[in-house]
Chain A
Amino acid sequence: AQSVSQHNHHVILSEAASLELGCNYSYGGTVNLFWYVQYPGQHLQLLLKYFSGDPLVKGIKGFEAEFIKSKFSFNLRKPSVQWSDTAEYFCAVDTGRRALTFGSGTRLQVQP
């Protein structure tokens, strides 16, 4: 069965710092990859997705992610975080069965 690993469980940054959250998956076939964000008390919202093509994908709110097939990774980045980026971030993988397998999430805390 496929699995998704997010090694950073809790990240604390100051405003304007750069962000990179790791995501690795275990599945040898074709995958669709997603990053979702969950702001405190809210539901999950899609940040960005990768289906095919350019492995560097840009999402909303200045986020981007890079798919590196050889490393089975899909890391999320943002050059300069804001206090409003405080949230929990989930990486998810779809192996073609339409249902998502989520990572355990990374809680990001941005200090003003």
Chain B
Amino acid sequence: DAGVIQSPRHEVTEMGQEVTLRCKPISGHNSLFWYRQTMMRGLELLIYFNNNVPIDDSGMPEDRFSAKMPNASFSTLKIQPSEPRDSAVYFCASSGLLGAYEQYFGPGTRLTVT
């Protein structure tokens, strides 16, 4: 199993540009989570999906952030327009349906907005 796959691993962009982060969850997992990690705020949940449906997006900072999960094997997190304060590491995680549904994290995307 390849684990959770995220792309790109690093992204540097200028303020005002659109940024799209991508995630492929572990095959068979039905829940997908987007987290953001910063020095100031630690690890924060942005949004999570269950069976491709957004369940809780209360952590999404503002309307500039949007997330989609068009199918069970792909999700995107988009920031438009990006701002320097969006600089962070964005993690995607997935978990399964049965038993011990611990979350498995991807390697993260380090976003730098200049």
Q: B107 contacts which chain A residues (CB < 8 A)?
A: 42-43
Task: Kindly provide the distance from the CB of A51 to the nearest chain B CB, expressed in whole angstroms.
Answer: 6
Task: Kindly provide the distance from the CB of A87 to the nearest chain B CB, expressed in whole angstroms.
Answer: 14
B12, CB-defined interface residue at 8 Å? no
Q: How large is the interface on B (under 10, 10 to 19, 20 to 34, 35 or more residues)?
A: 20 to 34
Given A43-B108, A44-B91, A99-B33, verify A49-B102 contact (CB < 8 Å): yes
Task: Kindly provide the distance from the CB of A3 to the nearest chain B CB, expressed in whole angstroms.
Answer: 12
Contact partner, A98, options B35, B95, B105, Cβ 8 Å: B95
Interface-located stretch among A19-27, A63-71, A101-109 = A101-109
B103, CB-defined interface residue at 8 Å? yes
Q: A49 contacts which chain B residues (CB < 8 A)?
A: 100, 102
| CA gap between A51 and B48 in the complex, in Å | 21
Task: Kindly provide the distance from the CB of B33 to the nearest chain A CB, expressed in whole angstroms.
Answer: 6
Interface residues of A in 4-41 (CB under 8 A from B): 34, 36
| CA gap between A71 and B100 in the complex, in Å | 24
A46, CB-defined interface residue at 8 Å? yes
Q: Residue on B with the closest CB to A34? A: B102
| CA gap between A99 and B49 in the complex, in Å | 10
A45, CB-defined interface residue at 8 Å? yes
- For chain A, the count of residues having a C-beta within 8 Å of the partner chain is 19
Indicate if the CB atoms of A105 and B106 lie closer than 8 Å: no
Q: A44 contacts which chain B residues (CB < 8 A)?
A: 91, 93, 105
Q: A34 contacts which chain B residues (CB < 8 A)?
A: 102
Interface residues of A in 85-112 (CB under 8 A from B): 90, 97-105
Interface residues of B in 71-114 (CB under 8 A from A): 91, 93, 95, 100-108
Q: Residue on B with the closest CB to A105? A: B42
Indicate if the CB atoms of B43 and A102 lie closer than 8 Å: yes
| CA gap between A51 and B50 in the complex, in Å | 20
Task: Kindly provide the distance from the CB of A47 to the nearest chain B CB, expressed in whole angstroms.
Answer: 10
Indicate if the CB atoms of A98 and B102 lie closer than 8 Å: no
